[in-house]
Chain A
Amino acid sequence: MSDCPVLVEMRGIVKRYPGVVANDHVDFTLCSGEIHGLLGENGAGKTTLMSILYGSVKPDAGTILVGGSEYKPRSPRDALKRGIVMVHQHFKLVETLTVLDNIVLAARGAGLGYSRAELRERLARVSERYGLYVDPDARVWQLSASEKQKVELARALVLDARILILDEPTTVLAPSEVEGLFDLIRAMKRDGRSIVFITHRLGEALAVCDRITVLRKGRVAGVIDLSRERATPTMLTRIMFGEEPPPPPVRRERRRGRRVLLVEDLWVRGNRGHWAVRAVSFNLFEGEILGIAGVAGNGQLELVEAIVGLRRPERGRILIDGFDATGASARVLVDEGVAYIPEDRVGMGVVPGLTVAENTVLRGYWRRGFYERGVIRWPAVERHAERIVKEFDVKVGSVSFPVETLSGGNIQRLIVGREISLGPRILVAYNPTSGLDARAAAFIRRELAAMADEGAAIILVSEDLDEILMLSDRVGVMYKGVLLGPLTREEASREKVGYMMATGTGV
């Protein structure tokens, strides 16, 4: 294709999963010493393609050449022998072991004959060379997400990976940490290593890559050599989605009404018993969207769960329009007008084995209209479900099908529809669009904007800073259990919020 020295050549790769072709005759070449972006929206097949190269997924068809010779990995061990290492979206570290133990384990697994002392020595050298400082004796569970990522990267380098596959490495980072990762990637390139950088964010792909392969619905939609052609975000978007992107949400009104929620000096413990939320206080008003940004694991989940009645606060008060809702159950709060779109759609948001209709009253089956004279009125529930399915465009054959037959995007539409149909005063949404295709994500953002326009008060917790900035009237940042800000819409610049997310200061 181009005249670069080809290192990896994947040809005609096919991988089918039940109901979906994850890779449909994909061709992919990686040159020696390049940073190669693998771009595509969620579900495009990026992870699958690279897992095949890494030997953890077996292709149904296709051939791979590495350095010109045939390569048929049976496991990641084979990949490692050819110098191929993958850093996964979800880290593969043993949490209870130390950093060094993890590296020793990986070296043994790969059949490398380094002693423990040698590995410690190599780790020190790698850390020095790439500025990847990690304490070899820290236990992994004590580390933050970005530190764990450093451990994975350091481990790959200690094992002397020549080809590094990084699967969506920026999703666990604060915006200000992203540039540091890019520097590291460039440094690895200078040392002659080749990098596959997987992302669904086109800005990142443009910022750091030499070439980009775009996947769309399991097929190659385009290969762009950035050293030869100029690529614009609009052009990449069109290649990624095959059409114009869906319209962004619009806020028609931005009128702040009465205060509906007061949170005062709230302290909440996390699952490990530590203080996940420390002395958080804020107000929430009718008609506004309060965005809460932050790197995952800084207490957002615990804060939100306390507000919606899923976690009992240890100290402090939650007042909804004067009603003391501190420690009230989720059912009481539903009746007080608090709706919740949880992050864990399949685990919490729906009951997969029950029907679509039953799931539309998962919160609210006790309400008049559905429950009368001691009996649940299923015909009324089914009519309600049909309305939600229609209004929120849930794709399902019949409301009596079990929810487990729906795709992720449709499940989320169902959840959003159900929660909005509760007629809430307060709507709490946690990462409501993560993992959804662009169309479903845009639909849900528009619904949230419309709710706020109609006077509902919305708390939007999201790891997607663009989403927060796009929708919010005020932006707070959770950092180590403390709520910073909130800043007004005008104050909340990308840089400022990003800096707060990373450092916990800057208000």
Chain B
Amino acid sequence: MRLKPSDRLATTLALTASLSVALLVFAAILGTHGYSVTGFARVVSSGFWPPENLSWRLSSIFINSLPVLFPALGLIVAFRMGFWNIGAEGQLLVGMAAATWVGVFLADRLPGASVLPAMVVAAFVAGALWAAGPALLRVWLGVNEVLTTLMLNYVAVHLVNYLVEYRWKDPRGFGFIRTPPLHESARIGAAEGAVLVVLAAGLVYFMLRYTQLGFELRIIGSSPKAARYAGISYAKVTLLAMLISGGLAGLGGMSVVAGLTGELMEAQRMSPGYGYTGIIAAWLGRLHPAAVVAASLFLGLIYERQSVLQATMRLGVGYTMLFNGLLLFAAISSTYLEKRLREAGRLG
């Protein structure tokens, strides 16, 4: 868990170097495609001044980072045990649907104060159940989780589209494919988001460090053979870890409807692949909760400027994805660089 100072230095150096390269490559691509690199930088860095704008801008970045932040926190749990959950996107989408159901159809029948907790529970449970399938298939039949979690993402997309189109479509929506708006009591702002983030990050940190489950999954992640020697049940740990991982991704889905859109639309309009971006945030943050929160906020910065970039520079969502992809590349290549730096440090 704890890194020695020299190792921490190696991590920092490696991440800085590879992120710089990623940024340079991105700038080069923007340039060759005829976009203004300085314009891009200006849009991304604008709005922090004067101070009146600052808090608005920060809370906006924060809200925009939540759909990445929650899945990323969940992925820490799965990745730490070496369970390759590629299904955060699907888990996020079903969590989003469950939250919508509570926020649109149940909210007026519930006492105001219990709407948000009910949404949280519904989103978490839906995401957890979506993740349970691949976990069970893995422990019962040994089916590779990469395939099952990935395939379930596509199923989730169709499920959400089916629900909005055929079940929950707003009859007064002028033919647009979307649900009625969420109840007022079902919306969240930066304050509620902050409470949830602190709870979720705290839970993940505590779970990994202080509970038997957390210790067991770290053992499995580093040495499955030693885990057997310690008498750890792979099946139990896998299932519990995936319930947590999927549940947190489900919360990410709730943060999309409750924090950003206020209504459910077709899947492709709800998520530009937040669940996949969560993988990037998890690796950028080296599977440490606090660092993953920081990485997600950084990604939120770009998401938040997405519409402005589109409006002022005609920069499509494809460039955001490209940017994220470069970050993932940086995150992964930096682990290699980091290893080399550490070895060099040991020798020197």
Contact = CB atoms under 8 A, between A and B. Distances in A.
15 contacts: A19-B346, A331-B232, A347-B223, A347-B226, A349-B229, A351-B226, A353-B222, A354-B1, A358-B1, A358-B215, A362-B219, A362-B226, A365-B215, A366-B212, A376-B215
Interface stretch (A66-74, A116-124, A332-340, A480-488): A332-340
A351 B1 CA distance: 12
Contacts of A352: 222-223
B271 to A, nearest CB: 34
Interface in B197-232: 209-212, 215, 218-219, 222-223, 225-226, 228-232
Given A348-B229, A349-B226, 4 more contacts: A309-B231, A344-B225, A351-B226, A358-B1
Contacts of A330: 228-231
Task: Give 6 nearest A-B pairs by CB, closest first.
Answer: A331-B231, A330-B231, A353-B222, A348-B225, A351-B223, A351-B226
A331 B227 CA distance: 10
A474 interface: no
B224 to A, nearest CB: 10
A4 B209 CA distance: 66
Contacts of A340: 229
A354 B219 contact: yes
A362 B229 contact: yes
Main secondary structure of the interface of A (DSSP, over half): loop
Nearest to B206: A375
A375 B210 contact: yes
Q: How large is the interface on A (under 10, 10 to 19, 20 to 34, 35 or more residues)?
A: 20 to 34
A376 B214 CA distance: 10
A269 to B, nearest CB: 16
Nearest to A363: B230
B113 interface: no
B231 A348 contact: no
Contacts of B1: 354-355, 358
Q: How large is the interface on B (under 10, 10 to 19, 20 to 34, 35 or more residues)?
A: 20 to 34
B222 A310 contact: no
Interface of A: 18-19, 309-310, 329-334, 340, 342, 344, 347-355, 358, 362-363, 365-366, 371, 374-376, 378, 400-401
A333 B229 CA distance: 11
Contacts of A348: 223, 225-226, 228-229
Given A349-B226, A354-B218, A376 B211 contact: yes
Contact of A375 (B4, B211, B223, B233): B211
B210 A351 contact: no
Interface in B302-323: none
Nearest to B221: A353
B7 to A, nearest CB: 10
B203 to A, nearest CB: 13
A375 B207 CA distance: 9
A351 B232 CA distance: 13
A401 B1 CA distance: 10
B347 interface: yes
B2 interface: yes
B272 to A, nearest CB: 35
B304 to A, nearest CB: 37
Contacts of A329: 231, 233
Interface in B226-268: 226, 228-233
A350 B226 contact: yes
A375 B226 CA distance: 22
Nearest to A404: B222
A285 B2 CA distance: 44
Contacts of B218: 351, 354
B240 to A, nearest CB: 14
Q: Point out which of B222, B225, B226 has the most chain A C-beta atoms below 10 A from its C-beta.
A: B226
A347 B228 CA distance: 11
A333 B230 CA distance: 10
B231 A332 contact: yes
Contacts of B4: 401
A130 B209 CA distance: 63
Q: Point out which of B1, B230, B233 has the most chain A C-beta atoms below 10 A from its C-beta.
A: B230
A331 B219 CA distance: 14
Contacts of B347: 18
A365 to B, nearest CB: 6
Q: Point out which of B1, B223, B343 has the most chain A C-beta atoms below 10 A from its C-beta.
A: B223
A344 B226 CA distance: 10
Nearest to B233: A329
Contacts of B210: 375-376, 378
